[in-house]
Amino acid sequence: MISAGSRSTMEDLMMNENSHPFLDDLRRRCYLYFEESADPQTGLIADRGHADGSSFSTYASSAGCGFGLAAHGVAANNGWISKEEGASRVRKMLSFLVNEAEHERGLVYHFIDRMTGQRALDSEASTIDTALLIAGAMHASQVFQDDRELVEMADTLYERVDWRWMLGDNGCLHMGWQPEVGRLPYQWDRFSELTILVLLAIGAPSSAIPPSCWTAWRRENVLHQQGESFISYPPLFVHQYPQAFFDFRGVVSSDGRNYWRNSQLAHLAQIEFQQSLADQSPQRFGHYGEDLWGLTSSDSSSGYRDWGGPYEDGQAQPDRGIDGTVVPSAAGGGLAIAPEQTMRTLQYQKNTFGESVYGRYGFVNAFNPRRGWIGSDVIGIDTGITLLSASNLLEEGVWQPFMQHSAAQRAFRLAGFRPLTA
């Protein structure tokens, strides 16, 4: 049974003389990415960069910028940078996003040019990426709440979004808008990372969607682990991004589910899934197990892949082309959710593979020990979720400021969340 999230579990874990130094070093390396990949004029964070820091993408991801805004707050609270420097970095990025970056009715494009803020890679004005950007701004506005200009810009970023424009007749939000086709037909209509999007749209200060939208999306697929049911989506990031900001630990949704426990079970199920792959095909997957696990959307030797697992109860097949790749952020993003299991594999990865996978910005995005392939890049959202989850484990460094924001509290209240009783 995972007991993550309890104070005693975290304290016991930190009693290990190697745990705290490792996590502190990992966090500092992760934050270095947000320092060095930020455009000096706009503050926008590169979507990806070479693991050695030699180059960065010319485009930013709006979600990565959201993680960057939260990262600056974490860094300031930990004394890695001064409060004044943290506020300055946040203010620079927010000013550019509010006044210069291209958007559609407040929806920021998934990818934007780091220097100009214009739409990049023919991407969509994205509901989920805008939500993650706003979440980072909300966190920063609480950390730097004495900076009136910063808080006002963070509020503007949130207030200008026309959430209702993206709402379908079925109560589900559409994924975005493109100038070539208009509103995308695809919707957030089943379990995924949508929980943070729907909550922020319900709790929005303007153009909020009805609270009933929380129950409009489908709770599927339902799998089982340790005799408990959990709503599954195979890549682990969907179980981590909402949990990085909203503190689901002590609350139950109106549908009777504790989404914190749901995420814990998803992590346990993936470890068991990868162990089953190893047992069935030791030549291909024999390196998978409790020491070495983790699958979430990532780079691979054959391009970017949207993979994870399990996909069905009692079934362990290498779906979506699983080839033995290990994605460190699959565990890194779950540090606060399943600390014993995630610490075990992350320390194993660092100790076993050393500088080949653990470098300037922490872990590379992905590697395949069976094939000898090591990815050349780190990706901002994966480095960011590792930093944020580690900070929640160590000091609740994202949860505490974010949950003090009135919109976060309003979202939980309107969506019908209630305290979890023993």
Q: Which two tokens stand for residue 315?
A: 């079934």
SS3 state of residue 328: helix
Q: How far apart are CA 144 and CA 83, in angstroms?
A: 8
Mean of all residue pLDDT scores within the chain: 96
pLDDT digits (tens, 9 = 90+) for 397-419: 999 999 999 999 999 999 999 99
Q: Which two tokens stand for residue 266?
A: 């998803």
- Whether the pLDDT of residue 319 is over 60: the answer is yes
- Looking at per-residue pLDDT, the higher value among 94 and 7 belongs to 94
Q: Closest Cα partner for 208 from 280, 314, 134?
A: 134
Grade residue 421 by pLDDT with cuts at 50, 70 and 90. confident
pLDDT digits (tens, 9 = 90+) for 59-76: 999 999 999 999 999 999
DSSP state of 318: -
pLDDT digits (tens, 9 = 90+) for 246-266: 999 999 999 899 999 999 999
- Whether the pLDDT of residue 3 is over 60: the answer is no
Could you state, in order of their start, the residue ranges of all structural domains in the chain? 4-419
Q: How far apart are CA 63 and CA 136, in angstroms?
A: 9
CA angle 422, 230, 220 (to 5 degrees): 135
Question: Which residue is listed with tokens 């910028």?
Answer: 65
Strands 418-419 vs 59-61: parallel, antiparallel or unpaired: unpaired
**Topology, domain 4-419:** Glycosyltransferase (1.50.10)
Check residue 2 and give its pLDDT. Answer: 42
pLDDT digits (tens, 9 = 90+) for 34-53: 999 999 999 999 999 999 99
Check residue 156 and give its pLDDT. Answer: 98
Check residue 10 and give its pLDDT. Answer: 58
Mean pLDDT of 15-21: 78
Strands 373-374 vs 362-363: parallel, antiparallel or unpaired: unpaired
Check residue 7 and give its pLDDT. Answer: 53
**Which backbone phi and psi does 158 adopt, to 5 degrees?**
-80, -45
- Whether the pLDDT of residue 4 is over 50: the answer is no
Check residue 240 and give its pLDDT. Answer: 98
Q: How far apart are CA 161 and CA 104, in angstroms?
A: 8
Mean pLDDT of 274-296: 98
**Residue 137 corresponds to which amino acid?**
A
Check residue 8 and give its pLDDT. Answer: 57
| 3-state percent breakdown (helix, strand, coil) of the chain, nearest 5 | 45, 15, 40
Q: Which two tokens stand for residue 346?
A: 């992350």
For the chain, how many helices (H) and strands (E)? 15, 17
